[in-house]
Amino acid sequence: MAQLLRNAQSLQGAGQLAEAAAVYRSILATDPGHWESLIAIAAIALQRGELENAIQWYGAVLARKPDYAEAYYKRANALNGLGRLEAALADYDRAIKHDQRYAYAFCNRGTVLERLNRWDDALASYECALAIEPDDFLAHCNRGSVLRKLQRLNESLAAFDRAIALKNDYAEAHFYRGHVAHQLRRYAEAVASYDEAIKFTPGNLLPFVAYASRGHALVGLGRLEDALASYDRAIAMQPDYVEAHVNRADVLRQMRRYDAALTGLDKAIELSPADDALFNRRGLVLRDLRRLHEAISSYESAIALNADCAETHVNRGHVLLEVGRAQAAVASYERAIQLEPENLGAHQGRAIALLNLGRIEDAVSSFSRVLALNPDQKYLLGVRRHAQMQICDWRGLAEDSAKLIAGLQAGNSITTPFPMLALVDSAPLHRIAAQLWAQQQFPADDALGVIPPRQRADRIRVGYFSPDFRNHPVSLLSAELFETHDRSRFEITAFAFGEGAKDSVRMRLERAFDRFLDVSDQSDFEVASLARKLGIDIAVDLGGYTEHTRTRIFSLRAAPIQISYLGYLGTMGAPYIDYLVADETVIPTGQQENYAEKILYLPSYQVNDSQRRIAERNFTRHELGLPAAGFVFACFNANYKIMPATFESWMRILKRVPGSVLFLYAGNQVAERNLSQSADSHGIDPQRIVFGKKLAFAEYLARLRTMDLFLDTLPYNAGTTASDALWVGLPVLTRSGQAFAARVGASLLRALDLTELITATAGEYEELAVKLATTPTLLAEIRQKLARNRLSTPLFDTALFTKNLEAAYEQIHARYLAGVAPEHTRL
C-alpha cells in the first residue's frame, strides 16, 4: 500500500494525472477510507476540470472529516465552475465557518456574489479577504471590479493601482483599470493602461480584446485614425471578432467614410447574421448615404429578426418620414410606443409625421407628451408652440413666449429658430436662437478642408440650393430671376433636394438653369463636394432654417462665398454664411449687429415674378361665401403668423366698419373653428369671418381681385402673399416692426412708392384700415396709384432686380478674388 501511494504521488508530481488517479483508485478499492488517496483524487479531478467527479470526491472527504475547511473551499470552486452559485456560496460559507482566516475562501466567495449581482455583499467579502491578506493582488483587483460596478470609480481606480503595485505584470488589472479610466473620461490614462495590458499578455486576457478597448479610448481622445489602427490589430488577431468590426464601422461613420463603414457592417452581419442591432446600425449608415429606401429595408431586416426593439421602429419611422411616407412613419412610431411607452424619440417623431399629415391637434398632443416626460427636451417647447399656432390655438401662448424668451436669454436650447420669427419681434433674440441652433446642430466643419484660392474666370458660377424647387412661395417669387440671369457673365446651377414634385413650377425651373441637379439622394458631404468640384463661386441658400433644408452642406463650405436669401427672414447665426441679402428697410444700418452675416444691400429686397398669370375668371361674391354688399378685408398669410394681438386689431376694425367681413385662408378646419370662436369671444358674429379654400395659383390670384384691402400680420409680415395681392392691384396695409420678418411688408410698399400704407403702431394700423374702408375715394386713389406704380417701380421689375443682384454678386466676388474679407456691401 505504501509503495502504491508513493508511485501515485510520483506520477502526480510528474503531471501524469490520469495515471496517478488510476493508482489512487486502486488503493481506494482496497481501502475506501484511505485519507491521502481521497484528498489526492479529488484534487486531480478538480485540476483536470472533471468538476462533477471533484464534487463527489470532496463529498467523500467531507463525509469523513466534516470540519475540513479546504474541502469545502475546493468543492465550492467546482460548484462555482458549474454555475451552481447558491451551492458554491454555501460551501464557501462553511469553509469560512471552519477557518475564519481563510482569505481565499472570502475572495472566491466574492466572485460568486458578483455573479449573483450582490455587489455590496461581494465588496464586503473582498474586504474581509484583504483584512486577512492585505497584499493579495487578486483580491485588490476583484475589489476594483466590484467598485466599478457600484460606480465608485475613483475607489475602483485606486484598487486596481494597488493590485498593479503588488503585481505589475498582471494584465487583467491593467485592462480593467483602463475601463475605469475610460468611464472617468481620462482617455489618455485608459490608453496607457491598455498598452500595459497588451504588453503583459498572453494570460487570461485575450490581447485582441485589449486592442479593441484601446480603440474605444482613442475615440474618446479624438484620435480616430489611431483608433482604426487599434481595431484593425484586434481584427487581424481575431478576424471573426464582431464587436471590433462594429466599433470600427462606428469610427468610420464618425469620420464620414460612410462607404467603408457600410462595408464593415456588412462584414459584421456576415459573421453574425442573426444580430438585429447590426441591421439597425446599417440603416443609420445608409441614411447617412441618402440611400433611404435601402435604409428602410435594413431596418425591416432588423425587425424581422427582433420585432420588439423600439429603437429600430423609431429609426425606420425617421426614414419613412424623409421619403414622404408619413402615414407609414406614424405606424412605425406607434409600434415603438407600444414597446416603450416613454420613448421620447417615438413620440416626437410621431408628432412630426402627424404634422406632415395635417393632423395638427394630434401632433400637438404628441409634442405635449414628450414635454410631460421630459420638460427640458431640446427645442421642443418652441416646436410645439409653432404647431399650436398653425391651428390658431393660442392657449398658453403668453406663458410659452415668456419661457422661450427667458430660455434663449439663458442660452438654453429651447426652440428651433423659425418659430421665434412669428412669436417675438426681436432681432437680437432671433440671433440668439439661430446661433444656438447653428452651434449645436450645424457647427462649422472642416472635413473637406479649405477651398484653395481661385483665379478670375469668364463667368461667375452661382449655385442655388433649395428643397422648394416646386410649387412653393420661394420658387413662385424667384423663377423669373433664374430665367433672367445674364448667361454671358453667370453660370447658374440648381441643387434640388426635398420633395421633387413634377409640377409646372418644377418643370419651368428645370428649364431655367444651366444645370439642374437633383441631389436628394446624395449626402450633405457629397453635395458640398460636388459643388466644389463644379467650381461654384457663390452658394445661395434659399431655405435657411425652414423645412427640409440642409444647412450642413454650408457648414462644410460648398463654395468660397455663401449667401442666405429669401426663404428665411432672419440671421442664420452661423460663421459660414458670409452674406444676407436685404435692403435698408428690412435691415436698417443701425441693426446690423443683430445679424451674424454681412449685409448685401439691394435697392429692393424681394424678387418677384412679373410673369405670374392671373386667371380670367371673375369670382362672384356669392360663390366665395361673401355677403352681397359690405367691405372685404383679407389676409392670406399662414395661420402661424396670426398673433392674438393682430386678431384683436382685426376684430376692432370689423366693429368699426359695419357690414364688413374678413376673408382668410385658414388651411385646416381646426384653425377655422378656433378663429371663429375667437371672433365670437370678441363680440363679432363668426359669420363675418369667411374662409377661402385652396385654389390653383392663377385662380387664387383672380380671387384676390374680389377683396378690398389686405391686412398684414405682425411680427411676421406677408411676403409672397403681399406680392400676390399687390400684383393683382389689391392694396396691402402693413404694420412695421423691428426685426427682418416684421419689415418685409414695408419693404415691398416702399419699392412701389406706397409708403402711405405703412404703419408703426396698432392704433395707426386700425385707424388707417377703418379710414380706407369708410372713405371710398381715398381707397380708389390708393388703387389707382398702385395700378400706375405696379409696372413703373422696382418691385415687379425682375430684370432690374436681376441686374442689381448680379452687380452685388460681382462686388463680393471681386472682394474674394482680392483676398478681402466679407463686408457690408451696397450697390
Question: Percent of the chain beyond pLDDT 70?
Answer: 99
DSSP state of 369: H
- Give the pLDDT confidence score for residue 498 in this predicted structure: 82
User: CATH number of the domain that 370 lies in?
Assistant: 1.25.40.10
CA–CA separation, 215 vs 206, rounded Å? 15
**pLDDT of 207-249, one tens digit each?**
899 999 999 999 999 999 999 999 999 999 999 999 999 999 9
Cα radius of gyration rounded to whole Å, the chain: 38
CA 524 to chain centre: 14
pLDDT band at 15 (very low <50, low <70, confident <90, very high): confident
Residue 138 belongs to some domain of the structure: no
Q: Check whether residue 548 and residue 657 sit in a common domain.
A: no
CA–CA separation, 691 vs 687, rounded Å? 10
- Give the pLDDT confidence score for residue 155 in this predicted structure: 97
**pLDDT of 408-417, one tens digit each?**
999 999 999 9
Q: Check whether residue 584 and residue 642 sit in a common domain.
A: no
Domain closes at, from 601, 617, 652 = 601
Q: Check whether residue 506 and residue 559 sit in a common domain.
A: yes
- Give the pLDDT confidence score for residue 386 in this predicted structure: 98
**pLDDT of 360-380, one tens digit each?**
999 999 999 999 999 999 999
**pLDDT of 618-647, one tens digit each?**
999 999 999 999 999 999 999 999 999 999
Give me the residue label for grid cell 406607434: 334
Q: Check whether residue 593 and residue 673 sit in a common domain.
A: no
Q: Check whether residue 587 and residue 655 sit in a common domain.
A: no
DSSP state of 755: G
Residue 6 belongs to some domain of the structure: yes
Q: Check whether residue 569 and residue 668 sit in a common domain.
A: no
Q: How many domains does the chain have?
A: 4
CA–CA separation, 75 vs 52, rounded Å? 10
End-to-end CA distance of the chain: 116
Give me the residue label for grid cell 376684430: 651
Hey, what's the torsion of the CAs at 661, 662, 665, 668, to 10 degrees? Answer: -80
Give me the residue label for grid cell 417701380: 793
Average pLDDT value for residue range 594-609? 97
Domain closes at, from 332, 353, 377 = 377
Q: Check whether residue 474 and residue 538 sit in a common domain.
A: yes
Residue 292 belongs to some domain of the structure: no
Average pLDDT value for residue range 188-197? 95
Report residue 145 as a C-alpha cell: 471590479
Report residue 415 as a C-alpha cell: 426652440
Interior CA angle at 302 toward 297 and 303, to 5°? 95
**pLDDT of 488-532, one tens digit each?**
999 999 999 987 778 999 999 999 999 999 999 999 999 999 999
Give me the residue label for grid cell 441618402: 290
Residue 368 belongs to some domain of the structure: yes
- Residues with Cβ within 8 Å of residue 394, at least 6 apart in sequence: 388, 644, 674, 678
CB 332 within 8 A of CB 320: yes
Residue 424 belongs to some domain of the structure: no
Residue 735: C-alpha distances to residues 376, 591, 721, 745 (Å)? 35, 18, 15, 8
Instruction: Work out the mean pLDDT of the chain and round it to a whole number.
Output: 95
- Give the pLDDT confidence score for residue 38 in this predicted structure: 81
CA–CA separation, 672 vs 391, rounded Å? 8
What domain range is 356 assigned to?
308-377
Average pLDDT value for residue range 15-31? 78
Domain closes at, from 14, 32, 66 = 66
Q: Check whether residue 677 and residue 558 sit in a common domain.
A: no
For the residues of 61-95, what is the DSSP string, one character each?
HHHH-TT-HHHHHHHHHHHHHTT-HHHHHHHHHHH
Phi, psi (deg, nearest 5) at residue 743: -125, 5
**pTM for this structure?**
0.88
Q: Check whether residue 518 and residue 595 sit in a common domain.
A: yes
Residue 215 belongs to some domain of the structure: no
Residue 150 belongs to some domain of the structure: no
> Residues for the chain: how many in total?
827
Phi, psi (deg, nearest 5) at residue 159: -65, -45
Give the other-Cβ count within 10 Å of 774's Cβ: 14
**pLDDT of 781-815, one tens digit each?**
999 999 999 999 999 999 999 999 999 999 999 99
DSSP state of 688: G
**pLDDT of 386-437, one tens digit each?**
999 999 999 999 999 999 999 999 999 999 999 999 999 999 999 999 999 9
**pLDDT of 535-558, one tens digit each?**
999 999 999 999 999 999 999 999
- Residues with Cβ within 8 Å of residue 586, at least 6 apart in sequence: 569, 605, 740, 743, 744, 746, 747
**pLDDT of 54-99, one tens digit each?**
888 888 888 899 999 998 899 999 999 999 999 999 999 999 999 9
Q: Check whether residue 583 and residue 665 sit in a common domain.
A: no
**pLDDT of 276-299, one tens digit each?**
999 999 999 999 999 999 999 999
CA–CA separation, 812 vs 761, rounded Å? 37
Residue 701 belongs to some domain of the structure: yes
| pLDDT tops 80 at residue 5 | no
CB 460 within 8 A of CB 541: no
CA 136 to chain centre: 50
Interior CA angle at 586 toward 466 and 560, to 5°? 45
Q: Check whether residue 707 and residue 568 sit in a common domain.
A: no
Q: Check whether residue 555 and residue 693 sit in a common domain.
A: no
